[in-house]
Chains A and B, each alone.
Chain A
């Protein structure tokens, strides 16, 4: 099953997003990671790498990211890690919800879950 990692500058925001996504995500493994490791705002590549390992059961991981350094540090973590992982270029919360649902599809692949996460860019709210 494809796993998910949510990377936010704020550890609490990451956990909150996972909380929302998990409601729809059944057995999907979703890991939140965020914060600068010192209790402040930021992202740390080593922490993201650890989250990738926790979320992976062999089928790969789709990574949802918020701003700037979350993207760059997720890229660094993916380059360093042995886990097959891709970043979804979409909104972090809506993308996580979409991806969590997509991952519960028995025929889901890394690519199909990423596509669904990125489709969240087109969600109309009004």
Chain B
């Protein structure tokens, strides 16, 4: 029995439930600046993905992630298919030797690169990249530089993603359907950044559950702001 594989299956199921619960919320965000299909498309795609990974027999993590991505690609019917699904399929290769802190960083970086590449988007375009980039950078730094445990690193990444979602509100969209609105896109929260945050929150909750720990109470900036003045 591949325990990590089962944990990833549980994560996909949690994401599917969360996206379904947030379906109307995502659709409302997308109605304001897009084509109002994000909630429905994502809910359908993740529900199908949860079914597909539930049918796998004792899968390893990479197989679960790849199956999730392939299902999203064929079921979503919009830009979220290639962006979320295609990037998961591509990045799943980084998990072929299992999940540890190092492979999780490689997975996150590869996923971000693929999203940027496929969507031709960068930070500041009012897209999911605005949530993903700070999350991936924070995760990498927490693991590689600050030597934090995986759960704490992921918790900080989720906080960074939340800040990224907030960052999409006051900026003007230059990619995606919202870019057609020009200045009217200012003041709106990006639906893709928002669903990316929901997915990450579910990954964190599932990882904490899998490791038998509480979700650490940290934020993205905590280690860079020392408690005490080093001069004292």
Which among A37, A69, A73 has the greatest number of chain B C-beta atoms within 10 A? A69
Question: For B81, what are the chain A residues with a Cβ–Cβ distance below 8 Å?
Answer: 44-45, 69, 72-73, 76
Q: Is B170 engaged at the interface, CB distance under 8 Å to the other chain?
A: no
B77 adjacent to A68 (CB under 8 Å):
no
Question: For B86, what are the chain A residues with a Cβ–Cβ distance below 8 Å?
Answer: 72, 76
Q: Give residues 109-123 of A contacting B (CB, 8 Å).
A: none
Q: Would you mind naming 6 contact pairs between A and B with Cβ atoms under 8 Å apart?
A: A35-B77, A41-B37, A69-B82, A72-B81, A72-B82, A75-B82
A76 adjacent to B82 (CB under 8 Å):
yes
A93, chain B: closest CB distance, angstroms: 18
A36 adjacent to B79 (CB under 8 Å):
no
Interface residues of B (CB under 8 A from A): 35, 37, 41, 44, 73-74, 76-83, 86, 118-119, 176-177
Q: Is A28 engaged at the interface, CB distance under 8 Å to the other chain?
A: no
- The listed residue (A42, A67, A75, A76) touching B77 by CB distance below 8 A is A42
Main secondary structure of the interface of A (DSSP, over half): loop
Question: For B77, what are the chain A residues with a Cβ–Cβ distance below 8 Å?
Answer: 35-38, 40, 42-44
B179, chain A: closest CB distance, angstroms: 9
B78 adjacent to A42 (CB under 8 Å):
yes
B78 adjacent to A75 (CB under 8 Å):
no
Q: Is A84 engaged at the interface, CB distance under 8 Å to the other chain?
A: no
- The listed residue (B35, B37, B76, B118) touching A75 by CB distance below 8 A is B118
Number of CB contacts from chain A to chain B under 8 A: 51
Question: For A44, what are the chain B residues with a Cβ–Cβ distance below 8 Å?
Answer: 74, 77, 81
Cα of A40 to Cα of B73 in the assembled complex, Å: 16
Question: For A76, what are the chain B residues with a Cβ–Cβ distance below 8 Å?
Answer: 73, 81-82, 86
- The listed residue (B37, B83, B118, B119) touching A40 by CB distance below 8 A is B37
Question: For B41, what are the chain A residues with a Cβ–Cβ distance below 8 Å?
Answer: 36, 42
- The size class of the interface chain A forms with chain B is 10 to 19
Cα of A38 to Cα of B80 in the assembled complex, Å: 16
Q: Give residues 54-68 of A contacting B (CB, 8 Å).
A: 67-68
A73, chain B: closest CB distance, angstroms: 6
B176 adjacent to A68 (CB under 8 Å):
yes
B39, chain A: closest CB distance, angstroms: 13
Question: For A75, what are the chain B residues with a Cβ–Cβ distance below 8 Å?
Answer: 82, 118
Q: Mark A10-50, 1 if CB is under 8 A from B, else 0.
A: 00000000000000000000000001111011111110000
- The listed residue (A37, A41, A43, A46) touching B35 by CB distance below 8 A is A41
Q: A69-B79, A73-B82, A76-B82 are in contact. List 14 more A-B contacts (CB 8 A).
A: A35-B77, A38-B44, A38-B77, A40-B37, A42-B41, A43-B77, A43-B78, A44-B81, A45-B73, A45-B82, A68-B176, A72-B81, A75-B82, A75-B118
A70, chain B: closest CB distance, angstroms: 9
Which among B37, B44, B78 has the greatest number of chain A C-beta atoms within 10 A? B78
Cα of A48 to Cα of B87 in the assembled complex, Å: 19
Cα of A46 to Cα of B177 in the assembled complex, Å: 23
Question: For B78, what are the chain A residues with a Cβ–Cβ distance below 8 Å?
Answer: 36, 42-43, 69
Cα of A45 to Cα of B80 in the assembled complex, Å: 12
Cα of A76 to Cα of B80 in the assembled complex, Å: 12
Question: For B83, what are the chain A residues with a Cβ–Cβ distance below 8 Å?
Answer: 72
Question: For B82, what are the chain A residues with a Cβ–Cβ distance below 8 Å?
Answer: 45, 69, 72-73, 75-76
